[in-house]
Copies of this chain bind each other. A is one copy, B any other.
Amino acid sequence: MSEVREKAALAKQAAQIMNRLTTAQKNEALLAMADALLAEQDAIIAANALDLERGRGNGTSESLLDRLKLTPARIASIAEGLRQVASLADPVGLTLESFRRPNGLLVEKISVPLGVIGMIYEARPNVTVDAAALCLKTGNAVVLRGGSAALESNRRIVGVLRDALAGTALPPDALQLVEDPSRASVDEMLKLNGLLDVVIPRGGAALIRNVVENATVPVIETGAGICHTFVDASAAYEMAADIAFNAKVQRPSVCNSMETLLVHEDFAEKHLRALADRFRSANVELRGCERTRALVPEAAAATDADYATEYNDYIMNIRVVDGLEQALTHIARFGTMHSECIVTEDEANAAAFMQRVDAAAVYHNASTRFTDGFEFGYGAEIGISTQKLHARGPMGLPALTSTKFRVYGSGQIRN
């Protein structure tokens, strides 16, 4: 039996115990995990050093090496994250519906764990702990398949966490790490129907596309975001400029940042020059439509391919539009149904935008950067779902649960 299948089978067995734990038992385990990470931080940092060394040898970029690197301060922050998850409300075991049928049957709909969750992600070792915490808190077992760049770190972290679980009510087998660094182990996970209940990819567009295209296990798709800000004719300049600038520049590498600014022609006439200067002052590379370039000649010509690109970088497109309808058409064509914003003082246009744009989150007069589990007050974030089934937008702990009907009778049969 392959490593992946064997570990998934162990996780499935463990899920039958996870399923029955109390909130207190789960929280104790999370706190024990936090303590263990701190107690074993030297060993973890030593393992991480091996990953960093191999990364340097491979010519990995400094920014990726920085994301990979663990320090005492970062481990303390990861441990603190575990404690925060312990403090969150348990979404399992809630009675979501309860009704009695005319035949006397009592039907209850109860929240239950999903079962076994497969997590496929890239380099950052903090995701290993974060995903483990969220899955265990919700009574699930988890099979982690992290990036090979962090293999030594992940192996040591998961070893420490499993050892910590051994002293708690939780079965250590509820936490599995796939160590096979080959693409084959990912491909196998994607087809493990019957062992995995769901697969969640976290990472770049290529990783997510591979999962969506090849998984037969149900997937929660996260991540890709081509987000727009539409500045309407009536927008106040300062507010529009602040929102658009924040959406692009505050953290360009994330999925809820803006890729394309759509500007009403009247606003553009008055303000686009000043707005473009503000972006240029932050070293944002500008690409624009013909009407944009008439006002901002230094912008390069934007192509349809540009409008369809998630730059995740200091690059953006600007398009001047006739009005709301053209903005909506552009968003429907190029958007990824993630986060979309209108800046306007016109209530009718705002209402139309909020109603008609098909996206996980739509904003009136606020930055798209708020699409985030913490910003929404969920206390945790599994990711941001960009699909319409199960969960959409920022996912808190309830996104890692399913439901079960419990039906209580006294001998009822169907006629």
Which of A's residues lie within 8 Å of B, judged by CB? Answer: 16, 19-20, 99, 101, 105, 107, 112, 114-115, 193, 197-198, 212-213, 216, 218-221, 238-239, 242-243, 245-246, 250, 332, 354-356, 358-367, 369-371, 375-377, 387-390, 392-394, 402-415
Contact = CB atoms under 8 A, between A and B. Distances in A.
Contact of A414 (B193, B213, B367, B407): B367
A107 B394 CA distance: 12
B364 A107 contact: no
Nearest to A17: B356
B388 A218 contact: yes
A250 B114 CA distance: 32
Given A16-B332, A101-B377, A213-B216, A362 B405 contact: yes
Nearest to A355: B20
A377 B100 CA distance: 10
A375 B242 contact: no
B366 A412 contact: yes
B407 A107 contact: no
A370 to B, nearest CB: 6
Mostly, the A contact residues are: mixed
Number of copies: 2
A356 B413 CA distance: 23
A218 B405 CA distance: 23
Contact of A212 (B193, B198, B367, B387): B193
A393 to B, nearest CB: 5
A414 B363 CA distance: 13
Contact of A363 (B197, B388, B407): B407
27 contacts: A16-B356, A19-B355, A20-B355, A20-B356, A101-B376, A114-B389, A197-B388, A198-B388, A218-B218, A218-B219, A218-B221, A218-B388, A239-B411, A354-B406, A358-B404, A360-B404, A360-B405, A361-B406, A363-B407, A363-B408, A364-B406, A364-B407, A364-B409, A365-B411, A388-B402, A393-B403, A394-B405
A364 B409 CA distance: 6
Contacts of A105: 366, 370
B220 A216 contact: no
Contacts of A359: 404
Contacts of A364: 406-409
A389 to B, nearest CB: 4
A345 to B, nearest CB: 11
A389 B218 contact: yes
B220 A411 contact: no
B377 A407 contact: no
Given A20-B355, A115-B388, 19 more contacts: A16-B356, A193-B212, A198-B389, A213-B216, A238-B411, A242-B411, A246-B414, A250-B413, A354-B406, A360-B404, A363-B407, A364-B409, A365-B408, A365-B412, A366-B409, A366-B412, A367-B412, A392-B402, A393-B405
Give the 6 A-B CB pairs with smallest separation, nearest first.
A366-B409, A246-B413, A388-B402, A369-B414, A390-B390, A389-B390
A47 B212 CA distance: 40
Contact of A413 (B19, B20, B367, B376): B367
